[in-house]
Chain A
Amino acid sequence: QQQVKQSPQSLIVQKGGISIINCAYENTAFDYFPWYQQFPGKGPALLIAIRPDVSEKKEGRFTISFNKSAKQFSLHIMDSQPGDSATYFCAASSDYGTASKLTFGTGTRLQVTL
C-alpha cells in the first residue's frame, strides 16, 4: 500500500520558471514531511522539511506548502535553474520508538531547460 503519492512523475520547466511537485498522504499519524533532492548516482540529500503545525516554510528559492485537512503538501521551486535538474522525493514519517521511519513518494524527475 503506497502511503505517499507523488506527482508528476516527470516535469520540464524553463529556466526562471516555477517548478511545482505535489504529494498526498493517507496516514494521519505522519508528523514530519521532508523533501529530498537526488542527483544521478548519488544518495538523496535533505532539501527542506516541514511539520504539520505550520502551513508554509520557505528556504531561499524552495517553499513547502502544507494542507493538513487535505493531507497534501507540495514543493515549489522559484526561479528554477538548470542546476536544479534532479529527482525530488517527498517523504513522511511517524515515530516508531525513537527512530524516524520515512515513507517516500515515487519521485519526480525535474529537468530545467535553458
Chain B
Amino acid sequence: DGGITQSPKYLFRKEGQNVTLSCEQNLNHDAMYWYRQDPGQGLRLIYYSQIVNDFQKGDIAEGYSVSREKKESFPLTVTSAQKNPTAFYLCASSLTRDRGENNEQFFGPGTRLTVL
C-alpha cells in the first residue's frame, strides 16, 4: 500500500525543546517537501529536497532543520529557535520534472505539534 506516513499524529513538547517529525514515503519519489499550516494562512513551504543528500530552504525555514539521508525519509526538526512552533505540519512528495510532466504532490496525514 503506497503512500506517505507521518508520525506521530499528535505531538506535545515543552517550550525550548527540539523535536523531530518523521516522514516516510514508499512512492519512489525523488522530491520531498515540508509545509506548515496555520489557520487562515494556507500552507507555507519550510524545506524541500530534490534528491538524497540535497535540500533547499523554503519560505519559512528559520528555526527548522532537515536531513535527507535516504530517498524514503525526510525528517524535520523543529528547534528551540522557532518562535511559534505550534502548528499542523505536512510532508509531501512528488516526482521530479525530469521524470515526467506530473507535478502532483502527495501529502501525508500531518502531525499536529503543540508546544506547551
Interface residues of A, Cβ cutoff 8 Å to B: 6, 9, 32, 34, 36, 41-46, 49, 89, 93, 95-107
Contact = CB atoms under 8 A, between A and B. Distances in A.
Contacts of B4: 43
- 7 smallest CB-CB distances across A and B, nearest first, come from A43-B107, A98-B96, A104-B42, A100-B103, A99-B31, A104-B43, A106-B42
Contacts of B104: 34, 46, 49
Interface of B: 4, 30-31, 33, 35, 40-45, 48-50, 56, 58, 90, 92, 94, 96-98, 103-110
Contacts of A107: 40, 42
A41 B110 CA distance: 8
Given A32-B103, A101-B58, A43 B42 contact: no
B45 A101 contact: yes
11 contacts: A34-B103, A43-B110, A44-B43, A49-B103, A95-B97, A98-B31, A100-B94, A100-B103, A101-B45, A102-B43, A104-B42
B45 A97 contact: no
Contacts of B58: 101
B113 to A, nearest CB: 14
Given A34-B104, A96-B56, A100-B103, A44 B31 contact: no
